[in-house]
Structure formats: C-alpha cells, structure tokens
Amino acid sequence: MQYKNLGQTGLQVSRLCLGTMTFGLQTEQDVSFQIIDQAAAAGVNFIDTADVYPLGGDLNTVGRTEEIVGAWLKGRRSQFILATKAVGKMGPNAWDQGASRKHLLDAIDASLRRLDTDYVDLYQLHSDDPTTPLDETLAALDQIVRSGRARYVGVSNFLAYRLARALGRADVAHLTRLVSVQPRYSLLFRQIERELLPLAAEEQLGVISYNPLAGGLLTGKHQRGETPAAGRFTLGNSASMYQQRYWHEREFGTIENLQSAVREAGLSLTTASVAWVLANPAITSAILGASRPEQLEATLAAADLNLDPALKAQLDQISAEYRMGDAAR
C-alpha cells in the first residue's frame, strides 16, 4: 500500500480509502467487519463514512453505518484515519439537515456518539447547501475544529466555483481552511478534470475521489440489455440515481472498448479502472466500496500498480468524451 499526504497537511493517508455506505443495509455487521479486516490487512488506514449511511436506507436506518464502523474501531481508533460527513437529512424537522450552524454542531456530536470516539480526523460537508450562507457554515466548521471534535475539514460534491468561494471566505475571515474535496471520478465521469482538479492542485487540496468503478459498472459484470443484478443499481432510493448516471448504451459501448484494452495488458477492468484514477497526480486517495470481502481483491491490487503510460493514454482516449458531461450524449 502506498501513502500520500492529504493536501498540504502533514496527515498521511493510504492511496485507497475504504468507503462504508453499504454497511448496515446491504451488508450486515459481521460481513462489514470482514470487509474492514481485509482492507486493514492490505494497509488501508483511511475509512470514510457519513451520518446518512447506509445508502438506500431511510430515516429509520440513518446512522447505522457509523455505529458499525465505531464498533469495529473500538480499541484501535488511534491506528486509523476516520472521516465522516454531514448535511444530509437526519430527522423529520426542517433543521435536521443542511449546513447551518445548528445542524452541523448537532450532527458532529451525534456522529461522535455513534462512532464512539472523541474526534474524527476529517469532517466533511456531504454536499453544498446554497440556503445557508457560506460564512455561517465555515464558522461552524471552524468551531468544530477548535473544539477538538475534528482535526481537519473538507467538502464533497462541490462545484469548483463554490469551493473557490469557500476557500476565499475562510481565508478572509481567518477561519479553519478546507483541506480536501471529495468528488465523483472514474473513466465514465471525468468532468472534474476541467475545473475542480486544477483548482484543487492550485490550492493544494487533497482529493478523495469516490465511485471509481461507476457504481460497479466498471467491473464488467453487468451486461447491456439485462436487468441490473441485486446491488447498487437496485437498492432502495439509490437505484434510480445509479441507473440514471451510468446505465446507458453509450457507457456499455465504452466498457467493451475498455475491456479490450486492459485484456491485452493482462489486467482486469476493475483493477485498471482504479489504477487509472490513482494515476492522476491530483488524486490523493480513491474510495473503494464493497458488499462482500471478496470484492476487494481486485480493487486493492490497484494500490501498488503503476499503470503503463501507453495503456493510460489508451484509456484516456477511449473515455475522453466523459470529460464533457451529459452534453456529449
């Protein structure tokens, strides 16, 4: 396993980060523990979760993932870098979501209780909240860090211009600076290369990319014309999101071309897809998810794979149209 500093901080994290959004719904606690065990044995020291997980659940299940992660970490908390997120809906009241001071201060305390820890290493906004002034949000994050409840703060799913504005407002107000951004990134979603990644590089932000396998489509196990197998494409309220993102004729055609390229190199599409993400110098760590321990074998192999430059160039070319987004359809 290779390690890299998170942005301009002194915090070293594994190039692969374990995502946990299946824990507690798609994956029960005993299997979740096996997944974390396998990742830890491979050198993964970075675990990412969120208060609204498990994905595909509802208000009756939110928080369960953090409880599972906290239970596994008991007695070994100091050996791992723990990240969680807030902003999503956690209760029936209007203020039980968003990036207001009230919700963030309530949310961090609730996450710490579920995780059974005094602090998280990285506390992130799960998404942008345009209804709350950035200054209020940034001041709340600053208070969370100064209180010792989080070591660093970051964001996820932010547009480049909103991230740039947040960085500027924090600097002007002398508030704790964001150190990372967590965007979606894969061979089938490359839009962030145009503005977000250059911004992250210029501002020396860590980039923790998620969905490197495009919801599992880049494993090559799904076939065009078939009904999606049980998993992320069928699970609860996430099913339509993933099908809308990836389940298209164009994507299946691209995957066929990608499979031909990696097969000639003697690699699996799964391993090559994650290695391609890590080959981008702007990426600090790629988040891997699994619902069964055996699914990690091919993805963990990407951590120590130096992708051949000629193969990377070929994968770049095959997937080039995904830099432009939906307009390319």
In a domain, 262, yes or no: no
User: Can you give the pTM of this predicted structure?
Assistant: 0.91
Q: Is 53 a catalytic residue?
A: yes
In a domain, 20, yes or no: yes
Is beta strand 46-48 parallel, antiparallel or unpaired with respect to 81-86?
Answer: parallel
Segments forming the whole domain that contains residue 134: 3-216+273-307
Per-residue pLDDT of the chain in tens (329 residues, 90 and over written 9): 999 999 999 999 999 999 999 999 999 999 999 999 999 999 999 999 999 999 888 999 999 999 999 999 999 999 999 999 999 999 999 999 999 999 999 999 999 999 999 999 999 999 999 999 999 999 999 999 999 999 999 999 999 999 999 999 999 999 999 999 999 999 999 999 999 999 999 999 999 999 999 988 998 776 655 665 655 555 555 556 655 666 556 788 899 999 999 998 899 999 999 999 999 999 999 999 999 999 999 999 999 999 999 999 999 999 999 998 764 44
Strand partners, 47: 18, 82
Strand partners, 124: 85, 154
Q: How many CB atoms lie within 10 A of CB 148?
A: 9
Contacts of 59 (CB under 8 A, 6+ apart): 89, 90, 91, 92
Q: pLDDT (tens digit, 9 = 90+) per residue, 115-155? A: 999 999 999 999 999 999 999 999 999 999 999 999 999 99
Query: Tokens representing 196?
Result: 């977000």
In a domain, 249, yes or no: no
Residue 126 sits in a domain of what CATH number?
A: 3.20.20.100
Rounded to the nearest 10°, the torsion over CA 195, 199, 202, 204 is: -140
Residue identified by tokens 């001071």 is 101
Q: pLDDT (tens digit, 9 = 90+) per residue, 220-275? A: 776 655 665 655 555 555 556 655 666 556 788 899 999 999 998 899 999 999 99
Query: In the prediction, which pLDDT does 250 show?
Result: 78
Query: In the prediction, which pLDDT does 244 show?
Result: 62
What CA–CA distances, in Å, run from 118 to 28, 77, 96, 233, 301?
25, 10, 22, 36, 33
DSSP labels, 254-286: HHHHHHHHHHHTT--HHHHHHHHHHTSTT-SEE
In a domain, 21, yes or no: yes
Select which of 53, 123, 246, 322 is catalytic.
53
Number of compact structural domains in the chain: 1
What CA–CA distances, in Å, run from 307 to 229, 274, 278?
30, 10, 9
Taking the C-alpha atoms of residue 84 and residue 110, their distance in angstroms, rounded to an integer, is 11
In a domain, 32, yes or no: yes
Taking the C-alpha atoms of residue 48 and residue 251, their distance in angstroms, rounded to an integer, is 27
CB 286 within 8 A of CB 212: yes
Taking the C-alpha atoms of residue 37 and residue 26, their distance in angstroms, rounded to an integer, is 18
In a domain, 255, yes or no: no
In a domain, 111, yes or no: yes
What CA–CA distances, in Å, run from 70 to 23, 86, 121, 161?
12, 16, 13, 35
Query: In the prediction, which pLDDT does 215 show?
Result: 85
CB 25 within 8 A of CB 198: no
In a domain, 85, yes or no: yes
Q: How many CB atoms lie within 10 A of CB 113?
A: 13
Query: Tokens representing 253?
Result: 């055609």
